Amino acid sequence: MKNLVILISGRGSNMVAIAEACAAEGWDARIAAVISNRSDAGGLVYAQQNGIPTAVVNHRDFEDREAFDATLAQVIDGFAPDLVVLAGFMRILTPGFVQHYAGRMLNIHPSLLPAFPGLHTHRRAIEAGCKVAGTTVHVVTPELDHGPIVVQAVVPVRPDETEDTLAARVLVMEHQAYPRAVRWWIEGLLESTEDGRIVHRHGESQALMGG
Ligand code: GAR
Per-residue pLDDT tens for 125-181?
999 999 999 999 999 999 999 999 999 999 999 999 999 999 999 999 999 999 999
User: What per-residue confidence (pLDDT) applies to 140?
Assistant: 98
Q: Does one domain contain both 93 and 4?
A: yes
Per-residue pLDDT tens for 104-140?
999 999 999 999 999 999 999 999 999 999 999 999 9
Q: Does one domain contain both 93 and 118?
A: no
To test the pocket of ligand 1, the residue of 108, 120, 163 to mutate (highest count of ligand atoms within 8 Å of its CB) is 108
- The catalytic residues are 109
Distance 110 CA to ligand 1 centre (A): 7
User: What per-residue confidence (pLDDT) applies to 114?
Assistant: 98
Distance 60 CA to ligand 1 centre (A): 21
Locate the ligand 1 atom nearest the alpha carbon of residue 110 and give its number: 4
Q: Does one domain contain both 14 and 38?
A: yes
Last residue of a domain, one of 66, 101, 136: 101
Q: Give the total number of structural domains in the chain.
A: 2
Q: Does one domain contain both 97 and 112?
A: no
Q: Does one domain contain both 13 and 82?
A: yes
User: What per-residue confidence (pLDDT) applies to 147?
Assistant: 97
Q: Does one domain contain both 156 and 174?
A: yes
Q: Which CATH number goes with the domain that contains 184? A: 3.40.50.170
| Domain residue limits at 197 | 108-211
Indicate if ligand 1 lies below 6 Å from the C-beta of 8: yes
From residue 147, alpha-carbon distances to 64, 117, 130 in Å are: 24, 11, 22
Last residue of a domain, one of 101, 128, 161: 101
Q: Does one domain contain both 40 and 121?
A: no
Q: Does one domain contain both 184 and 146?
A: yes
User: What per-residue confidence (pLDDT) applies to 163?
Assistant: 98
Q: Does one domain contain both 144 and 86?
A: no
User: What per-residue confidence (pLDDT) applies to 43?
Assistant: 98
Sheet of 2-8: strand order equals 54-56, 29-36, 2-8, 83-86, 105-109, 132-139, 149-156, 207-209
Parallel/antiparallel/unpaired status of strands 2-8 and 29-36: parallel
User: What per-residue confidence (pLDDT) applies to 54?
Assistant: 98
Q: Does one domain contain both 74 and 115?
A: no
Indicate if ligand 1 lies below 6 Å from the C-beta of 110: yes
Locate the ligand 1 atom nearest the alpha carbon of residue 12 and give its number: 16
Q: Average pLDDT in the 189-193 region?
A: 97
Distance 16 CA to ligand 1 centre (A): 12
Per-residue pLDDT tens for 10-42?
999 999 999 999 999 999 999 999 999 999 999
User: What per-residue confidence (pLDDT) applies to 161?
Assistant: 97
Q: Phi and psi for 157 in degrees, rounded to 5? A: -100, 120
Indicate if ligand 1 lies below 6 Å from the C-beta of 210: no
